Amino acid sequence: MLKEMEELGTVEYTITKVVKANDNTSRFTVGQRKILITTEAYVKAGIDMKEITEKDISRLGKTISIRLPIAKILFRKSSSPKK
| Residue 83 included in any domain | no
| Residue 32 included in any domain | yes
CB atoms within 10 A of CB 6: 11
Of the pLDDT bands very low, low, confident and very high (cuts 50, 70, 90), residue 80 is low
Residue 82 confidence (pLDDT) above 60: no
Residues 30-61 as b or e (16 or more Cβ within 10 Å = b): eeeeeeeeeeeeeebebbbbeebeeeeeeeee
Domain count, the chain: 1
pLDDT score at 21: 81
Domain that holds residue 63: 2-78
In this prediction the pTM is 0.56
pLDDT score at 67: 94
| Residue 30 included in any domain | yes
| Residue 27 included in any domain | yes
Over the stretch 19-60, which tens digit does the pLDDT of each residue have? 888 776 666 666 677 888 888 999 999 998 888 899 999 999
What would the 3-class secondary structure string for 50-75 be? HHCCHHHEEEECCEEEECCCCCEEEE
